[in-house]
Structure 1
Amino acid sequence: MLSVDTPETTADTVEGAKSVDEKFKQLGARIRDGVAPISDALTEFLLPKIETGNAGSLQFGQGTAAATFNTENIKKRLAEGREPGKERGIFIRTADDFFDDNNRLLAYIAPNYSKKELETLPREKRPTFNLDLITEGWAAPFVIYPSIPGELDLPLFLKAADKAVKDKKGIWKDSHTLLAYEYRALEKLHGVTKKKAEGKKLEPDEAFSWRTRYCADMRDRELHGPEDYFRVPPIYRLWLWPQDVNEAVGHLNLTPSRRLTGSGSRTR
């Protein structure tokens, strides 16, 4: 589902999530020991989240709740205004690139309304299932260039995300929540750091393979490096793959941050 990122359930079980708790506690210790290839600034931002001792369990619990909400919400909305047993069809609008690297269809998904309904229902009354996840706080905004919501949809998206954060709904209820993309990155960082701690040779570029995307601030169009994303509030983060940065700078009139150009303060 485009532009949203729900918590991960890749731990599979409660016991698996507890195993992740231990992995992240180990990662936290190695970060403090200076073994992990991560900047001081990002360390300061992430350590409080992974040193709680329950980062994996929190992620798994949130992911399970998000999945439950999504299943029930889709079932409910497809049945709205229909005779019992007769659900609506589904409307799908795909990204320019139809599939991701895992062969998953990338799309905005919603109930399929009739032409008459579309003429009478305003956009906010017929949201996508993607937007529903944002509204209820069960997903973080995850807009990746060039698949940016349209000029009429983006304001609704940002407004819903802002309200969910302020109301502390879903994942925003706990200040120690790791957003799903942070969780995935830290799992990769744990692998890299474990290998380094064991004295194993890292492959070229492996040390920083755990973070690759750049991040731009939708408010002022400032472009930040992969480890400076946290300087942008979650709802205003626009993500860019390295190969798309030059094009996006031109198309969106982005301005590289001083830290990105090397004119700011340095970290290890």
Structure 2
Amino acid sequence: MTDPVQILWTPAGVSLPSLGSRALAHVHDGDTPYVEMPIRMLSVDTPETTADTAEGAKRVDEEFTQLAAWMRDGIAPISDDLAEFLLPKIETGKAGSLQFDQGTAAATFNTENIKKRLAEGRDPGKERGIFIRTADDFFDDNNRLLAYIAPNYSKKELDTLPREKRPTFNLDLITAGWAAPFAIYPSLPGELDLPLFLKSADKAVKDKKGIWKNPLTLLAYEYRALEKLHGVTKKKAEGKKLEPGEEFSWRTRYCADMRNRELHGPEDYFRVPPIYRLWLWPQDVNEAVGHLNLTPSRRLTGSRTR
């Protein structure tokens, strides 16, 4: 029997869920197992493939077409201005299929690009390691590691290669047009990386690369929000009772304009061009207003969002 002790402590930490049956890659030595885990690439947002199949995407087409009708009829809990902005994108009847096709293309690009860049400058069959730079918050709500990732360069290479010649894989997605900028406070690109980030995004938009080729593209965060809005509106249309706060649970993030520091409410993000949108979770707004010297918009302070 052990003696009683006077040291009592509950450490702060994150409990990660099971990473699946193949998570354990190998054991290096007795106390060093290696595991596989997902990484959420920071500051980028690629189209979703959550429909899983083309048939699943067609079901989303139908759901979004129905949502558009509910918007027109004033049933959906969304501001008139945001509805007017989104309706052309979902009344095509192909919004889900377009998202799925773009998401598949983005995944293919990322797979091929990572493989190509890890092999650059290496002997056949030998790849570079991976450089990982985490965010201030290590994990997201889905327990994915939040990080920028890139090929791992030697010190000599880092001294001789300019920053733009050794971009992260995150930036590669932006440059190729397969991801929308998705900077979320406080996990922002550094002051040396942000200009590259904005320049690459601006060029991709102007050159109509990837997702920007189609002006009716739903950005991934819009797509996810509309999936939630459809669920909420369906309950309303069927006369089912909504839980407190559920009506507006489909949109939560605030948006600041990087050009003038103006802070907008969750349904006014579209007033900021996509490349200059800085996203903030509600719990971070007060801190960000002080740290970044943000100024709330007149709409945000003068009237309540419907």
TM-score, scaled relative to structure 1 = 0.98
Q: Hey, what does 2:44 align to over in structure 1?
A: 4
Unaligned runs of 5+ in 2: 1-40
Partner of residue 163 from structure 2, selected from 123, 146, 157: 123
C-alpha distance in structure 2 between counterparts of 1:197 and 1:70, whole Å: 40
* Kept in 2: contact 1:40–1:267 (CA 8 A): no
* Kept in 2: contact 1:41–1:267 (CA 8 A): no
The 4+ residue runs of structure 1 with deviation greater than 6 A are none
Query: What is the SS of the residue equivalent to 1:246?
Result: helix
C-alpha distance in structure 2 between counterparts of 1:250 and 1:82, whole Å: 47
Deviations 1:33-89 (A, max 9, x none): 110000000011000000000000000000000000000000000000000000000
C-alpha distance in structure 2 between counterparts of 1:74 and 1:150, whole Å: 22
C-alpha distance in structure 1 between counterparts of 2:304 and 2:219, whole Å: 26
**1:175 Cα deviation after fit:** 0.4
Q: Which has the higher contact order (CA 8 A, sep 6+)?
A: 1
Query: What is the SS of the residue equivalent to 1:98?
Result: strand
C-alpha distance in structure 2 between counterparts of 1:120 and 1:46, whole Å: 46
**1:194 Cα deviation after fit:** 0.1
Matched, 1:156 2:196: yes
Matched, 1:201 2:241: yes
Q: Give the superposed CA RMSD.
A: 0.9
C-alpha distance in structure 2 between counterparts of 1:189 and 1:46, whole Å: 12
In the superposition, relative to structure 1, how do residues 266 and 146 fare at CA in structure 2: closer, same or farther (>3 Å)? closer
C-alpha distance in structure 1 between counterparts of 2:166 and 2:250, whole Å: 37
C-alpha distance in structure 1 between counterparts of 2:71 and 2:242, whole Å: 17
* Kept in 2: contact 1:37–1:208 (CA 8 A): yes
**1:266 Cα deviation after fit:** 7.1
Query: What is the SS of the residue equivalent to 2:128?
Result: coil
Q: Hey, what does 1:176 align to over in structure 2?
A: 216
C-alpha distance in structure 2 between counterparts of 1:252 and 1:148, whole Å: 12
**1:161 Cα deviation after fit:** 0.1
**1:97 Cα deviation after fit:** 1.1
* Kept in 1: contact 2:265–2:305 (CA 8 A): no
Aligned residues: 266
Max radius of gyration: which structure?
A: 2
C-alpha distance in structure 1 between counterparts of 2:111 and 2:211, whole Å: 17
C-alpha distance in structure 1 between counterparts of 2:262 and 2:143, whole Å: 32
* Kept in 1: contact 2:267–2:305 (CA 8 A): no
Deviations 1:171-197 (A, max 9, x none): 000000000000000000000000000
* Kept in 2: contact 1:70–1:133 (CA 8 A): yes
Query: What is the SS of the residue equivalent to 2:279?
Result: strand
Matched, 1:36 2:36: no
What percent of counterpart residues are identical?
A: 91
C-alpha distance in structure 2 between counterparts of 1:226 and 1:39, whole Å: 10
TM-score, scaled relative to structure 2 = 0.86
The structure that is helix-richer by fraction is 1
Query: What is the SS of the residue equivalent to 1:31?
Result: helix
Unaligned runs of 5+ in 1: none
**1:267 Cα deviation after fit:** 6.7
**1:207 Cα deviation after fit:** 0.2
